[in-house]
Structure 1
Amino acid sequence: MRFYQSIFTLTLILIPVLSFGQIDYKVADIPEQLLADANSTVIEHKVEIDIPNNRKIISCERRVITVHNKAGDRHVDAYVNYDNETKVKSLRVDVVDANGNLLETFRKRDFEDVSAVSGGTLYSDSRVLFLNYTPTSYPYTVIFESVVESDNTFFIPRWTMYQNTYSSIWNKYVRIKYEPSLGLRYKTFDPKGQFEVEEQEGFLKISVREQGVIKTEEMSPSFTDLVPTAHFGLSSFSIDGIEGQASNWQELGAWQYRNLVAGLDALPQEVVSKVNALVADAPNTKEKVRRIYEFMQNNTRYISVQLGIGGLRPYPANEVIEKGYGDCKGLTNLTMALLKSQGIEANYCVVWAGRHQRSIDKDFASLQGNHVILNVPLEEEELWLECTSQTMPFNFLGNFTDNRDVVALTPGGGIIKRTPNYTIDQNTLDTSGTFSLDTEGTISGTVNLVSKGIQYDIRSALLHEDQKDRISSYKSYWRYVDNLEIQSIGLEEDKQEISLSEEVVISAKDFANFSNEKVIVPVNVMDRYSYIPRRYKERTQEAVLLRGGVDNTSFRIEIPDGYVVDALPSPVVIESKFGSYTLLVLPDGDKAVQVNRTLVLQNFRAATDEYKELRSFMRTVARSDAAKMVLLKQ
């Protein structure tokens, strides 16, 4: 052990000399195949991590990136994060021209030092040093070097092959030297076998060479799902001086519960008394949970607080309720404490939040997630509570945390659970309306919309907008209607049914097109599907729709006096693995037309060879929704 520590000491002394020696970088030397579609090229990117014990981690980074054009400026990424447990030992940037001639040098004192969190954060010790460099010409090359030391070995940052789209790679690696007794664990996502892995006791190196750019394509999976990645974790670790040992979710979840969650559930007696009275006549446990959840919503607000054991420990429940604010951790812990005061068990769950449905990796126990939610297991069902929102309906998560694996931290260990998946039959939007068309081509009427499930989640943003912003939102939603005027808006939310009803009175001049004795009128007045994904000569990524749904449309269009229906669109029926579509336009007496339409979009992951079929389906739907009828002047 003593010999091993001596080797570490020698290594750390030599790292800046061996790894960070000056080399001339000329753009002309970049292999031609790495220039195709590249806004930047990573010439070399070395991350060398040394972990001599469970209380120290030293990370030395050298990143050399050539920026070919203005679009590549954002790829420079000349920044480093730090906090009370993480110290920036050295920091330097050299900028050279296309021939490798030095243009400028920046040292640590030249970097801007700012908070690493948004204005919505009240307390945090997280900060970032960053360099805001403005180039005078292209191409140019940035040589970024840093040495960072931390006492926190609980979290080892993941290593990704790509950090940006349209950025090629010449040479890149991560190397970790560690005390073998710490038990370094790692897991790679490398579907195409692009990683080169070298491994021996106390040593791991993963590298890639000469990789072209990864492009953006419409409807593609998330960047996280596309990019080859390596995740790391220690079986013996330390954070804020608290040591832990864990190699699976049961062990890690138990450690997190003991050190992050347990013992923070005390509440003032007057609060407990209020809750006792609140639920006294509740007919069942679910109703008790509902009332307690709404009590929390009505008495708190969300403010980020990122202090205590790496920003992972929630503030105690009594402090959150007394102050009236907290972050996701504090508000979730408070709700759990309120439920516990009534003998109701709940689980503090860590989740990857965001619209891409990223799951906690159930096969690799490590510090994961960016959000916390609450799970309440009842005998008849499991309830899920989003505790950071003062407006979210009870037992509804929406598209922020739906349909993904989370880890519940319990006294017995970590338990992987799955959040609810909102099916296409639950994600509905019913649009109806009666419209009158006058002889000047102006259409007017009332549109009624009722949304549920994920469609409700999206449309409920209207509830929090002022009148001006609502009008803008409707004009954007119905952007295919020229000269649209919003006369009035009525909104009614039903949190029991988790639905939103909208009543919008509209008018639009020149909606119909007059041509001699004929009038051309779009039949789908206010519910058109218009998105047609881009055509690709060679699609390289699967196309994904994570949340399908059903749109039902029913319109009655009254035609002006002196006109009769001359031609109506033919019925349309489309069936596809990606969804279905029907359109039926029929006369409704002599003076009106009835339009009935249904669009069903399935959840799908379309392979590259299915993309043309998918695009054809969407194009046909969009064209059908643009169908028109012809009126003839009598």
Structure 2
Amino acid sequence: MKIKKKFLFFLFAGALCFGQKTEFPVSAISADLLENSTAVLRKEKIEIEIESRKSVVVKTYRVVTVLNEQGLSKINASEYDNVRSVAATILDANGVEIKKIKRKDFKEVAVSEGSVITDNKNVFLDYTPTQYPFTIIYESEVQSENTAFIPPWIPLNEKNMGVEETAIVIKSSPDLGFKSKSYNFEGWDVKQEYLQDGVAFSLSNVTAIKDEAFSAAPFKYLPHAMFGVDKFNLEGVEGDATSWENFSTWAFRNLLSGTTELSDETRTKVKALVADEKDPIKRARKIYKYMQDKTRYVSIQLGIGGWRPMKAKDVDRLGYGDCKGLTNYMRSLLEAADVPSHYAIVYGDEDKMDMQQDFVSMQGNHIILAIPNGNDYIWLECTNQKMPFGFLGDFTDDRLALLVKPSGGALVRTDIYSDNAQNSKGSYVLQADGSIKGDIEIRSGGVQYSGRHHLISDSFDEKNKFYKAYFDIHNLKMDRMDVAEDQDRAEVSENLKLNAERYAEVRDNRLFFQINAFNKFSDVPQRYKIRKNPFEISRPFADLDEITVSIPDGYNVEAKPANVTIKEKYGSYRLEIESISPNQIRYRRMFTMQVGYYPNNEYEGFRKFLEQVAKADSSKMVLIKT
């Protein structure tokens, strides 16, 4: 009888569900799109209309099925600018509506990520689901007076997200000089329609993009498109994007004009600081240090002030600024000392991204300074109070930047760091009980300097934690951790003393140990049954090690690793081990990687190269007691 009642209940409940309108049930998603997905984009349509030089309207309709908690961040339910309307509907796994969310239920906050001064607002949905999976239908309409920035189309912007259907339609007033540029459409089934004053793109049924080791930056291989107009508006200021030279001139006149004034006191102080220096680069070096000691970085986003730097005299008075304000302040200080320099717009990110030469528009997210030096430039990062003069690091290296000048502005490539060397020289003594005591000096330059620069200011505990992870030796104790830097050479030097018990295994009158104690490579990337993404080595490096090993009295070498030489297009490796006295062994090691961009079908060869390196680095020596 109980069974019958339960059956009737579910039959009745099912009838209720059947009577309700259902949309986007999870059961309708193909198995291919569910694989490796934490969410699935069911349907997306973005309509952009550039109505005039001072008005662009963006309408968004987006349906996302969230499969688990990891997919929650992929609903992308947030807006900036003037929000005309915004709403959402939540569906259960069967596609039955369970909640409606109105405009008043969305949160609105100032954009304060890393900022202390802002007037930007962010309207976003903060939804806590009661069950997974669920589906959200999100709809919005926003309007902006800023036509300098037309949203790009990035259909595969999220990793681990299958895509059923995504589309964009963009139309523009015919007198604005609408333009579009597509990237990486080859090999993807992107449907394209070029309208009289706009474009329409769509893409459907794309399986989830996995996050694979050494994957190239997404913009290098995934489809996307940029849009813009030649005649734009930025916070009430009309601009010209017909060429990079014209854009540079516009930026100089409208963003930089009237921002370099300094107080008489500061100008006098700067001139006195460099009075004994005739060389403009030496003057610039002194002024850079003065600027670093005087200022700190904050983010400022106030109207066009989000793009126009603070006035130099305000930065001077307050002692802070953002990348625009600090760079312009440095430019103003140099101007007071008769040293020319140029404000430069660039993309700042560890992934190297160029300003697009063939698509003139408001690009970039960071500002640096360029000082002419013969036929080249010295580049300055003005937001880091500890950065050496003329060193950029991996945030803005090797990419095109726009020099903002009153005339003749152009795209120029920033410094390329090819000598990213780490040189290690030292020794260790192996005792009969298996313990070791060692000394090592490590010198790092180029981008490797960037990776170890933090050690200069790290606390004792932070350094201790770093070295225990770096050396990966059980029972390691650091007896000395002296770290210094040579800012003129952009080099970090580390003088270390360490010891560890039971480094070698003691067994059968023998000592078994890895001869490479100080710089073992072990990060062999994952093997994939089917590798999908291309891979990239974005920066070269070279590790050079020379270590002398003293073995205990009464022991002879019974077995030692063979010398190894590996040469591949991805890099090279060499290991040489030699006896230099009855109780001393020296090993020399060189490991290099070369810049390159490679298709997915070469990944396994690259992985095997690194596997060979790791195997050689972990090879063991055997000593026998005589």
Report the TM-score when normalising by structure 1. 0.93
SS of the aligned residue for 2:175 comes to helix
1:439 aligned to 2:432?
yes
Residue deviations 1:24-65 (CA, integer Å, cap 9, x gap): 222222344433332221111111122221111111111101
Q: 1:203 to 1:548 in 2, by over 3 A?
A: closer
Cα 1:23/1:342, change in 2 over 3 Å? farther
Does residue 316 of the first structure (1) align with residue 311 of the second (2)? yes
Runs of 4 or more consecutive aligned structure 1 residues displaced over 4 Å after TM superposition: none
Q: 1:355 to 1:90 in 2, by over 3 A?
A: same
Gaps of 5+ in 2: 1-20
The within-5 A match list for 1:459-470 is 459-470=452-463
Once the 2 structures are TM-superposed, how far is the Cα of residue 177 of structure 1 from its aligned partner? 2.6
- Residues 240 and 310, structure 1, Cα contact 8 Å, conserved in 2: no
Residues 22, 94 of structure 2: 8 Å contact kept: no
Deviation sequence 1:346-376 (CA, Å, 0-9, x none)? 1111111111111110110111111000011
Q: Deviation digits for residues 426-464 of structure 1, max 9, x if unmatched? A: 211111222112222111121210111111111111112
Q: Take 1:275 and 1:158, find their aligned partners in 2: how far apart are those partners?
A: 44
1:380 CA displacement: 5.4
Give the letter aligned to residue 80 of structure 1: E
Partner amino acid for 2:361?
Answer: S
- Selected match of 1:488 from 467, 480, 492: 480
> Contact conserved, 1:117 with 1:127, CA < 8 A, in 2?
no
**Map of 1:175 onto structure 2:** 169
> 1:147 deviation in Å?
1.2
Shift of 1:127: 2.5
How far is 1:413 from its partner?
4.9
Counterpart-to-counterpart distance in 1, 2:381 and 2:163? 40
Counterpart among 129, 135, 141 of residue 141 in structure 1: 135
Name the residue aligned to 1:7. none
- Asked whether the equivalents of residues 161 and 208 of structure 2 are also in contact (C-alpha less than 8 Å), the reply is yes
Counterpart of 1:121 in structure 2 is 115
Amino acid at match of 2:124: F
SS at match of 2:170: strand
- Give the aligned partner of residue 452 of structure 1: 445
User: What is the correspondence of 1:288-437 to structure 2 with a 5 Å cutoff?
Assistant: 288-309=283-304, 311-379=306-374, 381-423=376-418, 426-437=419-430
Other structure's SS at 1:198 match: strand
**Counterpart contact for 1:568–1:586, Cα < 8 Å:** no
Q: Relative to 1, partners in 2 of residues 1:457 and 1:94: Cα closer, same or farther, differing over 3 Å?
A: same
How far did 1:529 drift?
1.1
Letter in 1 for 2:457: H
Instruction: Determine the structure 1 residue equivalent to 2:26.
Output: 27
Instruction: State the one-letter code of the partner of 2:147.
Output: T
Distance in 1 of aligned mates of 2:366 and 2:22: 43
**What residue number does 2:15 align with?**
none
* Paired residue type of 1:467: F
Q: Kindly provide the CA deviation profile for residues 313-370 of structure 1, in whole angstroms up to 9, marking residues without a partner as x.
A: 0001111011111110001001111111222221111111111111110110111111
**Which among 261, 285, 298 is matched to residue 280 of structure 2?**
285
Letter of the 1:65 partner, please give it.
Answer: V
Stretch moving more, 307-316 or 23-32: 23-32
Measured in 2, the distance between the counterparts of 1:122 and 1:214 equals: 36
Unaligned runs of 5+ in 1: 1-21
How far off its partner does 1:310 sit?
Answer: 5.9
| RMSD (CA atoms) | 1.6
Structure 1 residues 182 and 381, CA gap change in structure 2 (3 angstroms): closer
Would you say the 8 A contact 2:221–2:534 is kept in 1?
no
Cα distance between partner residues in 2 of 1:241 and 1:390: 34
> How much does 1:622 deviate?
0.6
Letter of the 1:240 partner, please give it.
E
The whole-number CA distance in structure 1 between the counterparts of 2:294 and 2:300 is: 17
Give distance in 1, aligned partners of 2:182 and 2:422: 41
- Alignment match, 1:554: 546
SS of 2:306 mapped into structure 1? coil
Cα offset for 1:534? 1.3
2:266 to 271, 277, 297: 271
* CA distance 1:607–1:199, change in 2 (3 Å): closer
Matched, 1:566 2:572: no
Alpha-carbon distance between aligned partners in 2 of 1:388 and 1:567, rounded to the nearest angstrom: 54
> Any idea what SS the aligned residue of 2:581 has?
coil
**3-state SS in 2 of match to 1:165:** coil
CA distance in 2, matches of 1:430, 1:229: 41
Cα contact 1:255–1:413 (8 A) shared by 2: no
Please name the residue that 2:521 is paired with.
Answer: 529
Give the TM-score of the pair, scaled to structure 2. 0.94
Q: How far apart in 2 are the matches of 1:49 and 1:571?
A: 63
- Rounded Cα–Cα distance in structure 1 between residues aligned with 2:573 and 2:27: 54
Deviations 1:375-407 (CA, angstroms, capped at 9, x unpaired): 111225411111111111111111110001111
- The equivalent of 2:124 in structure 1 is 130
SS at match of 1:406: strand
- Aligned equivalents of 2:50, 2:600: Cα separation in 1: 43
Shift of 1:193: 4.5
Query: d(CA) in 2 for partners of 1:352 and 1:545?
Result: 19
Separation in structure 2 between the aligned mates of residue 305 and residue 105 of structure 1, nearest angstrom? 36
Residue matched to 2:5: none
Match of 1:160 in 2: 154
Name the structure 2 match of 1:257.
252
Shift of 1:137: 2.4
Report the residue type matching 1:401 in the other structure: T
The separation in 2 between residues aligned to 1:413 and 1:34, in whole angstroms, is 50
- Rounded to whole Å, the distance in 2 between the matches of 1:406 and 1:339 is 20
User: How do residues 50-65 of structure 1 correspond to structure 2 at under 5 angstroms?
Assistant: 50-65=49-64
1:134 is displaced (CA, Å) by: 2.3
Q: Per the alignment, in what secondary structure is the counterpart of residue 109 of structure 1?
A: helix
Whole-angstrom CA distance in 1 between matches of 2:604 and 2:586: 33
Partner of residue 215, structure 1: 210
Provide the rounded CA distance (Å) in 1 between the counterparts of 2:603 and 2:164: 31
Shift of 1:521: 1.4
Q: Deviations over 1:522-550 (max 9, x none)?
A: 10011111121111222222221111111
- Looking at structure 2, the residues matched to 380 and 293 of structure 1 have their Cα atoms a distance apart, in angstroms, of 21
User: Counterparts in 2 of 1:13-92, with a 5 A limit?
Assistant: 24-81=23-80, 86-92=81-87
Q: Which one-letter code corresponds to 1:463 in the other structure? A: I
Partners of 1:366 and 1:540 lie apart in 2 by 32
Shift of residue 74 of structure 1? Answer: 2.0
Identity of aligned pairs, percent? Answer: 34
- 2:304 counterpart SS class: coil
Contact 1:49 1:177 in 2 (8 A): yes
Distance across 2 between alignment mates of 1:80 and 1:418? 34
Structure 1 counterpart of 2:468, from 457, 470, 475: 475
Distance in 2 (alpha carbons) for counterparts of 1:319 and 1:59: 37
Q: Size of the alignment, in residue pairs?
A: 605
- CA separation of 1:414/1:173 partners in 2, compared to 1, >3 Å: closer, same or farther? farther
CA distance in 1, matches of 2:356, 2:492: 35
Whether the 8 Å contact between 1:47 and 1:61 is mirrored in structure 2 is yes
